[in-house]
Structure 1
Amino acid sequence: MRLLHTSDWHLGHRFHGRQRHEEQGRFLDWLVELVEERAIDCLLVAGDIFDTTAPGSRAQALYYRLLHRLAASSCRHVVIIGGNHDSPALLEAPRELLRRLDIHVIGMADGDYGKEILQLDNPQGKPELLVAAVPYLRDRDIRHAMAGETLEDKGRHQREAIRAHYRDICRMAEERRRQIDPGLPLVVMGHLFVAGGRTAEGDGVRDLAVGGLDRIEATSFFADIDYLALGHLHLGQLVAANPCWRYCGAPLPMSFAEAKASKQVLLLSAQGREIAVEPIEVPRFQPLASVRGDLPTLLRELDRLRTTNAPIWVELVYEGDPTIPDLRDQLLAAVAGSELNVLRIRNNRIFDYVLRQTEQIESLDDLGIAEVFERCLAINRIEEQQRQMLRAAFAEIVDALDREPEQIGGPR
């Protein structure tokens, strides 16, 4: 059996103000072609299908077009779990219809452990795979808040509830495997931050709960899991040095820090409970370049990039000592009439600012909410001890606001 592990598509994501619908559509086209070319039997999507809980119509169209093409492909099963950026209600709305197409969507945990354990059959109707598909576990979905608990208490209790959820799900899946066939492979899917995981600067990964206290130790997972398919972290990486416990990472770069990073999906070949993993590099559908140095270095590199005649999105980081009043004008003049698009200019000697090509000043639309909050802390000279508590409270508020549109029936 062949499986493909992917996650963190973030459909609808804007890259420094630029829409990515074309780039994301080309990735999804490539993914379907890969499914056909490699005769994939099961596609595993480990959360964050969308970038927000209220995705636009073009992002949703990309998603449903993909599902339509997968249903008509050689892929027999698709398993999708919700991530922290996803709306559980949006994902689960067509759930019963999609199940008729062997597309299994688990958008949220609702106390019904049975729906998270999927038995996938081969064309002859015999079991060939068990999947414990655990979506992002929101605090309200897995425990009752206790009166008087502090932020630290809340984080600890949530972490304990997440561990208990995975323990119970794995125990139930293992019992089901014993009843069906002890040699049946078991895949566990999840969307969370395992302690020790790596992130990239500016890649948009935020703590899933108060103060990041929900980071789960790798020891929380059962050792007899045959493959652990995780989402949330955007860099592909092993978990606990186990080649069969992995984050596949986001298939598209989420920040300029990933301009040169190789992105991947993971091909799994299962022979019984033995699973071999092959990373498959995702093509770069939108070229990026991050250039650092003094002014001569920046101008020299821009001149080199111009010769490629490619529509490259560029970040320029000025690291020279002299203060250059017309730095921005010189840099933009260097790309005038070319295919290059300068999306960001950072002056490390003065301040960082995000630049749309025709704008002269930074606007709130150019900044992430976390960056705005951090700047407020810095401007008001908040002490570090207080900053930690304020960051924790801010993370909780952001998570609540992300869920609000689905609770009131649409975007505000």
Structure 2
Amino acid sequence: MRILHTADWHFGRALEGRDRRLEQTAFIDELCQIVEEKEIDLVLIAGDVYDSVNPPAWAEELFYDALERLAAEGKRGVVVIAGNHDQPERVRAAAPLAYKHGIVLLGLPKETPFVSTAGRNDTERVRIIEAGPSWLELALPGIDHHAVILALPYPSESRLKELISESFTQEEMQQAYSERIGKLLGEYAQKFREDTVNLVTSHLFVMGGMETESERPIQIGGALTVSPSAFPKNAHYVALGHLHRLQKLSGTPLIRYSGSPLAYSFSEAGQSKAVVIVEAIPGQPVQEEIVYLKSGRPLARWKATEGIAQVEQWLAEGRDAGSWIDLELHVREAIDPAEFQRLRKLSDDFVKIQRVLVHDGKKEEAEQPETKKEELRPDQLFRRFFERKRGVSPDEKVVALFERLMAQVQDREERGERE
């Protein structure tokens, strides 16, 4: 059984106001080509399909087009779970229709996949043999063994519909949350068998994972962090979403973040984007293959210490051609506005330009690039507001308190929407 793992598509997300629609569409074309060339039997999409709970219409159209192409009229299995950015009800809304194409859509933890008795004997199509809360057993065309999948969409307290604790310290809360997730997975893992390929997919922050700036917080101060030991030891593979860097975590079983298919912040400059393919046979260790993607534009950071002339030289040389560029420009005096506009027009690839005044080799002051409010994360808006009102940057504890309050508001809104 050949399985492809991908996550964190974030359809609808821009880069400092730059539309990424063409890149996201190109990624889907490349992904569909990969599943055909690599003869993939099952695709796992581990959350954050969209960048917001209310994505633009074109993002939804792209997602559904991708599902139809990946499923190949029910000949290939596709399992999708909601991430922390996704509206669970939006992700699962088409589940009854998607099932007919071999596609499983899950929005909430403990949710039972849609199951129908129609087509149970059609061995040429994907079939759900049995299912329960957050697990299912799949039969795939041409494969003589089944896959048992534990599929746990983003399990916040609100989405779990559980109050883990109101009074724990951060450390106690982290331990309690990790133990709760471990207990849930342990219960579901009783469905694993020696004659099946046993898989786990979830959207979590796992201890030891490396973050980038493009992931908006999934936890407050690490409270919703899960230990690698929470995952069942008898799983063949754990396919995770949330962290945008491709990485493998230590421990047993094999635990992977596939990372995002595009770089979504300049903290990811220089990172290679990929999907993960694993080949699994019951009773044997999996074989994995990393397939690097070519569809997304790279991100590059330029530090021009010799002024605009150096930037013009780099452009003439074709440096980082085709990349989005974050430019830090060192100058000895303020730039005339007309000259600055000329610099911007030198290339459409400049996403940010930060001007740094330098005197005797030392930075005197930095002129930060102007960023539209709608492009900032809530914590960035809070920092900007605090600095404007108080004249100093907020303490990290104050920022953490703000994020905690934001998370509580989001949880209340989610509960209200479901009620």
Describe the superposition over 1:193-249 as per-residue Cα deviations: whole angstroms up to 9, x where unpaired. Answer: 11221122x32x133233331111212222222111111000011112668211110
Specify which of 128, 146, 149 is matched with residue 146 of structure 2: 128
Question: What letter is aligned with 2:287?
Answer: A
Are residues 1:384 and 2:400 paired?
no
The one-letter code sitting in structure 2 at the alignment partner of 1:33 is Q
8 Å CA contact 2:228–2:251 kept in 1: the answer is no
What SS does the aligned partner of 1:210 have? coil
Question: Structure 1 residue 96: deviation in Å?
Answer: 1.5
- Closer, same or farther in 2 for the Cα pair 1:401/1:167, shift >3 Å? closer
Q: Which TM-score applies when normalising by structure 2?
A: 0.83
Corresponding residue of 1:195: 207
CA distance in 2, matches of 1:405, 1:59: 25
1:29-72 per-residue CA deviation (whole Å, 9 max, x = no partner) reads 11001111111000010000000000010100100111121232
Matches of 2:376 and 2:312 in 1, distance apart? Answer: 25
Distance 1:216 1:177, change over 3 A: closer
Deviation at 1:109, TM superposition (A): 1.5
Once the two structures are overlaid, the 10-residue window that deviates more, 48-57 or 183-192, is 183-192
Q: Partner of 2:85 in structure 1?
A: 85
Structure 1: state its 5+ residue gaps: 355-360
* AA aligned opposite 2:368: Y
How far apart, CA to CA, are the structure 2 residues paired with 1:328 and 1:85? 39
Q: Which runs of 5+ in 2 are unaligned?
A: 113-130, 357-362
Give the 3 Å change call, closer, same or farther, for CA 156–346 of structure 1 in structure 2: farther
Matched, 1:268 2:283: no
Aligned to 1:101, what secondary structure does the other structure show?
coil
Instruction: State yes or no: 1:176 paired with 2:191.
Output: yes
User: Deviation per CA, 1:306-359, whole angstroms, max 9, x where unpaired?
Assistant: 4539554221123x4x653117754542453x55332112245534634xxxxx
For the pair 1:315 / 2:326, whether they are aligned, the reply is: yes
How far the C-alpha of 1:165 sits from its partner, in A, is 3.5
**CA gap 1:406/1:300 in 2 versus in 1, 3 angstroms:** farther
Q: Residues 375, 401 of structure 1: CA spacing in aligned structure 2 closer, same or farther, 3 A cutoff?
A: farther
- Residue in structure 2 matching 1:344, options 345, 349, 352: 352
Q: Specify whether residues 352 and 35 from structure 1 end up closer, same or farther in structure 2 by C-alpha distance, changes over 3 A only.
A: farther
Deviates more, 1:374-383 or 1:19-28: 374-383
Report the equivalent of 1:219. 229
Change (3 A) 1:377 1:215: farther
1:361-394 CA deviation, whole Å, 9 max, x = no partner?
A: 4431342222112233445347637425524424
Q: Which of 191, 208, 233 is equivalent to 2:218?
A: 208
CA 1:169–1:214 in 2, change beyond 3 Å: closer, same or farther?
A: same
Moved over 6 A (4+): none
Q: What displacement does 1:106 show?
A: 1.1
2:156 counterpart residue number? 138
Q: Secondary structure at the match of 2:207?
A: coil
State the distance in 2 between where 1:7 and 1:377 align: 34
Count of matched residue positions in the alignment of Structure 1 and Structure 2:
390
Cα shift at 1:8: 0.2
Change (3 A) 1:290 1:332: farther
Q: How far apart, CA to CA, are the structure 2 residues paired with 1:159 and 1:387?
A: 24
Of the structure 1 ranges 39-48 and 341-350, higher mean CA displacement relative to structure 2 is found in 341-350
- Paired residue secondary structure (1:303): helix
Q: 1:326 to 1:343 in 2, by over 3 A?
A: same
Q: Taking structure 1 as the reference length, what is the TM-score of the superposition?
A: 0.84
* Partners of 1:138 and 1:166 in 2: CA distance: 14
Q: What's the CA shift string for 1:143-180, capped at 9, x where partnerless?
A: 54489x34x5588457624532443333333x3234xx
Does the aligned pair in 1 maintain the 2:174–2:225 contact within 8 Å? no
Matched with 2:125 is none
Q: 1:156-171, aligned counterparts within 5 Å?
A: 156-157=172-173, 160-161=176-177, 163-171=179-187
Task: State the SS of the aligned residue for 1:15.
Answer: coil
The structure whose residues are more often helix, as a share, is 1
Query: CA 1:281–1:125 in structure 2 vs 1: closer, same or farther (change >3 Å)?
Result: closer
- Say whether the 8 Å CA contact 2:177–2:223 is kept in structure 1: no
Aligned equivalents of 1:171, 1:94: Cα separation in 2: 28
Q: Could you tell me how far 1:19 is from its partner in structure 2? A: 1.2
* Contact map agreement 1:50 1:86 (CA 8 A) in 2: yes
1:371 aligns with 2:392: no
The 3 A distance-change label for structure 1 pair 235 and 177 is same
Q: Which moved more, 1:208-217 or 1:221-230?
A: 208-217
For residue 407 of structure 1, report the CA deviation from its aligned partner. 5.3
Contact 2:354 2:368 in 1 (8 A): yes
Partner of 1:171, secondary structure, is helix
Aligned match of 1:254: 264
Same amino acid, percent of matched pairs: 28
Q: Single out whichever of 304-313 and 82-91 deviates more from structure 2.
A: 304-313
Match of 2:127 in 1: none
Q: Which residue identity does 1:291 align to in structure 2? A: W
* TM-aligned CA distance change 1:390 to 1:185, over 3 Å: same
Query: CA RMSD of the aligned region, Å?
Result: 3.0
1:65–1:302: structure 2 CA closer, same or farther, 3 Å change rule? farther
* Structure of greater relative contact order (alpha carbons < 8 Å, 6+ residues apart): 1
Give secondary structure in 1 for the equivalent of 2:254: strand
- Quote the Cα distance in structure 2 between the aligned partners of 1:106 and 1:165: 17
